[in-house]
Amino acid sequence: MATLFKSLAVFLEKVEATKKRLEIIAIAADFLKSLDAEDVEPAVSLILGRAFPKWSQKTLDVSWTTLSGVLQRITDVDWSVFHEAFAHTGDVGAAAKALFEKTNVQRQTLLQDETLTILEVRRLLDAIASATGAGSREKKERLITTLLSQASPVEVKYLVKIFIGEMRTGMHEGLMEQAVALAFNVPLAAVQKASMTLGDIAEVAAMAKVGGKAQLEQLGFQVFRPVKLMLAQSADDVAEVLAQHGGKTAFEYKYDGARVQIHKRGGDVRVFSRRLTDVTRSLPEVVKAVKANVNASEAILEGEVIAVDHGGRPIPFQHLMRRFKRIREVQDTAEEIPVALYLFDMLYLNGESLISLPYVQRRRILAENAGGIPLTKQVITDRKEEAEAFLKEAIDSGHEGLMAKKLDSPYTPGARGKRWFKIKPVLEPLDLVITAAEYGYGRRHEWLSDYYLAARDAVTGEFLNVGKTFKGLTDAEMAEMTKRLKALAVHEERNRVFVLPRIVVEVTYNEIQKSPKYKSGMALRFARISRIREDKTAEEADTIEKIKHIYEQQFAKKGKYKTE
For residue 443, the 8-state DSSP code is G
Q: How far apart are CA 513 and CA 25, in angstroms?
A: 35
Q: How far apart are CA 375 and CA 250, in angstroms?
A: 13
Q: How far apart are CA 38 and CA 34, in angstroms?
A: 12
Q: How far apart are CA 403 and CA 344, in angstroms?
A: 11
β-partners of residue 423 are 235, 402
Name which of 96, 192, 205 is nearest 147 in CA terms.
96
pLDDT at res. 562: 36
**Is the model's pLDDT at 88 over the cut of 90?**
no
Three-state DSSP at 166 gives coil
Four-CA torsion 77, 83, 84, 90, nearest 10 degrees:
130
For residue 415, the 8-state DSSP code is -
The pLDDT of 85-105, averaged and rounded, is 85
Name which of 427, 533, 521, 540 is nearest 465 in CA terms.
521
Q: For residues 75 and 100, is the Cβ–Cβ distance under 8 A? A: yes
Query: Please, which pLDDT band fits residue 563 given cuts at 50, 70 and 90?
Result: very low
Q: How far apart are CA 519 and CA 44, in angstroms?
A: 31
User: What percentage of the chain carries pLDDT values higher than 70?
Assistant: 93
- If 0-12 CB within 10 Å is exposed, 13-18 middle and 19+ buried, where does residue 133 land? exposed
Q: Specify the pTM.
A: 0.79
User: What percentage of the chain carries pLDDT values higher than 90?
Assistant: 62
Q: How far apart are CA 102 and CA 105, in angstroms?
A: 9
Ramachandran category for residue 205: left, alpha or beta (phi over 0 → left; psi -120 to 50 → alpha)? alpha
Query: Please, which pLDDT band fits residue 327 given cuts at 50, 70 and 90?
Result: low
Rg over CA atoms, the chain: 24
- Digit-coded pLDDT (tens) for 227-248: 889 999 988 889 999 999 998 9
Question: What is the assigned CATH class of domain 50-164?
Answer: mainly alpha
Long-range contacts of 125-131 (CB under 8 A, 24+ apart): 125/51, 125/52, 125/60, 125/162, 126/52, 126/58, 128/60, 128/62, 129/51, 129/52, 129/58, 129/59, 129/60, 129/61, 130/58
- Angle of helix 92-101 relative to helix 64-75, nearest 10 degrees, comes to 20
Residue ranges per domain, the chain?
Answer: 50-164, 231-423, 430-556
Residue positions annotated with a catalytic role: 254
How far CA 280 is from CA of 149, 308, 438, in Å, comes to: 38, 19, 37
pLDDT at res. 332: 63
Name which of 452, 503, 533, 501 is nearest 166 in CA terms.
501
Query: Please, which pLDDT band fits residue 564 given cuts at 50, 70 and 90?
Result: very low
Name which of 156, 164, 130, 151 is nearest 49 in CA terms.
164
How far CA 285 is from CA of 274, 331, 335, 373, 456, in Å, comes to: 18, 10, 11, 12, 36
Q: What is the CATH number of domain 430-556?
A: 2.40.50.140
**Is the model's pLDDT at 514 over the cut of 50?**
yes
Amino acid at the residue 146: T
Ranking 3-7, 72-76, 225-229, 332-336 by mean pLDDT, the lowest is 332-336
Task: Give the E-state strand segments of 281-398 in sequence order.
Answer: 298-307, 339-349, 352-353, 378-381
pLDDT at res. 426: 63
How far CA 223 is from CA of 142, 226, 266, 347, 351, in Å, comes to: 36, 8, 11, 11, 9
Q: 94 or 328: which carries more pLDDT confidence?
A: 94
Mean pLDDT in the chain? Answer: 89
pLDDT at res. 559: 40
**Is the model's pLDDT at 531 over the cut of 60?**
yes
Q: For residues 309 and 319, is the Cβ–Cβ distance under 8 A? A: no
The pLDDT of 259-275, averaged and rounded, is 95
**Is the model's pLDDT at 197 over the cut of 50?**
yes
Name which of 234, 253, 244 is nearest 428 in CA terms.
234
Which H helix or E strand runs over 402?
strand 401-406
Tell me the residue length of the chain. 564
- Phi and psi at residue 350, to the nearest 5°: 50, 50
pLDDT at res. 328: 56
Sheet holding 231-235, edge to edge: 231-235, 416-423, 401-406, 249-254, 378-381
Query: Please, which pLDDT band fits residue 437 given cuts at 50, 70 and 90?
Result: very high
pLDDT at res. 214: 92
Q: What is the CATH number of domain 231-423?
A: 3.30.470.30
Q: How far apart are CA 317 and CA 259, in angstroms?
A: 12
For residue 103, the 8-state DSSP code is S
Four-CA torsion 316, 338, 414, 34, nearest 10 degrees:
110
